[in-house]
Amino acid sequence: MSTVKQWTAWAALLLLMSMPVFGEPLRIEITEGVSSALPIAIVPFAGAAQAPGAPVHSIVDADLSRSGRFDTLPTGEMPQQPSSLDQVNFAAWRTTGVTYAAVGQVIPQGSSSYMIRFLIVDVPRGQQLAAFQVPASADDMRSAAHRVSDLIYEQLLGERGAFNTRIAYVSVPNRPRVGQPSEYLLMVSDADGENSRTVLKSKEPLMSPVWSPDGRQLAYVSFETGRSQIFSQDLATGKRRVLSSKPGINGAPSWSPDGRSIAIALSDGPNTHIHLMDLESGSLRQITQGAAINTEPDWSPDGTKLLFTSDRGGRPQIYEMNRDGGQVRRLTYQGSYNARARYSPDGKSIVMVQGGSSFRIAIQDLQSGTVRVLSQGPEDESPSFAPNGAMIIYASQYGGNGVLSTVSFDGKVRQRVAGRGDIREAAWSPFRPR
């Protein structure tokens, strides 16, 4: 990966890469937060103990703490546990130093339905700030709790929360050894690492998972037949569809924002080019030209442009083009290696892998061209934005194992996501419907 020749053989390298994971919950450790984290108390919700699963308040508390943007008050330090506004003793709460408190109830609505009603109170001012209610069923209480977290996050910080989202990733339960068979797993979990489930098992490598815009499908690359193929898979039914199985390389799928097309990289002898596939008809159209490796496409949020990595200038750099292949322009000039770029959800920045003696995650502002390095390396790769643009997840190394890490857009909040094996190739899902 340290030379252009190695990058040119990207498909062969990916074939040999080990990408382990397993089905237990991922462990998330906050390694750096902001000093100005907002003090808040998530008071245990009345009636939560009678609902299935972990108590709602504990999930919400963990979500907000993990974001690095909130400093949550331990339950044992709370002066009382009110469940409605008239029960709140504001004088007592002011002694705790919190700015806000969330109080509420989990109310049964039938045999397997619930309503979560809660308030956010402004402690210094002694008044209610907002009130919400979130419907829930017995089998989606965790999702409902994440929706509560999203509402609190958005109310207090002014941007949509991304706690009720998912992460797809690829892994292998045990490190493969020469001559030893391996089992590769395509996994999906909640954004907090819980509710992990196996989407696909294979004895051959799986890689490059990407979400459909509606969050109902994944596209990915599989080597299950001994060569690369691109599949899509419905997460609810498990139904699979072969999207591309051409001779040579079939790689780097990227779904268009409208869900009608998918951009893929296909090889043509020594060259690799970006193609657009119409998902209804299956028709293909090549949109890059020339003698080069053009790969790793990513759609702009409005669907009018694509990023891609190309060595047409001698070394891997990031380029942008119109969706028809016109108006190609080079975006990156800082550093000899820039690859795997992804647009931010607002389309104003890109995140990428920047290389040299080590490989780190960097952000580039598209208007000014300013580049900020967000990670510490030495082997960071595969960045993916959260749908609100606040966090970026990427693959890294820690303690000799592959792990996932997250970093906030401003670089101030960092987390490490670990399991019992190496975890690679994470992709953050789109928002779920409100």
pLDDT in tens, 109-138: 988 899 999 999 999 999 999 999 999 999
**134 backbone dihedrals φ, ψ, rounded to 5°:** -130, 115
Identify the three-state secondary structure at position 314.
coil
Top-confidence residue, 24 or 323:
323
Could you give the CA distance from residue 354 to residue 363 in angstroms, rounded to a whole number?
A: 9
Could you give the CA distance from residue 295 to residue 279 in angstroms, rounded to a whole number?
A: 19
Q: For 191-228, where are the E strands, in sequence order?
A: 197-202, 206-211, 217-222
Query: Sheet harboring 423-428: ordered strands across?
Result: 197-202, 184-190, 166-171, 423-428
Q: Which residues contact 23 (CB under 8 A, 6 or more apart)?
A: 185, 187, 196, 197, 198
**pTM over 0.85, yes/no:** yes
pLDDT mean across residues, the chain: 89
Do the Cβ atoms of 266 and 246 come closer than 8 Å?
yes
pLDDT in tens, 329-346: 999 999 999 999 999 999
Strands 414-418 and 27-32, by their bridges, are antiparallel
Residue 292 pLDDT > 80: yes
pLDDT of residue 26: 67
Among residues 121, 128, 72, 74, which one has the least CA distance to residue 100?
121
pLDDT of residue 401: 75
Do the Cβ atoms of 48 and 103 come closer than 8 Å?
no
The percentage of the chain sitting over the pLDDT mark of 70, rounded to a whole number, equals: 89
Q: Residue 83 has what DSSP assignment?
A: S
Looking at residues 192-205, what average pLDDT do you find? 92
pLDDT in tens, 33-83: 665 899 999 999 999 888 888 899 999 999 999 898 999 999 999 999 999
Residue 419 pLDDT level (bands cut at 50, 70, 90): low
Q: Does domain 36-155 have CATH number 3.30.565.10?
A: no
pLDDT in tens, 146-188: 999 999 999 999 999 999 999 999 887 766 555 566 788 999 9
Q: Residue 86 has what DSSP assignment?
A: G
Token readout for 415 is: 């987390």
Residue 12 pLDDT > 80: no
Could you give the CA distance from residue 425 to residue 210 in angstroms, rounded to a whole number?
A: 10
Q: Does domain 164-426 have CATH number 2.120.10.30?
A: yes
> Within 10 A of 398 (CB to CB), how many other CB atoms are there?
14
pLDDT of residue 24: 61
pLDDT of residue 421: 63
Q: What does the domain layout of the chain look like in residue ranges?
A: 36-155, 164-426
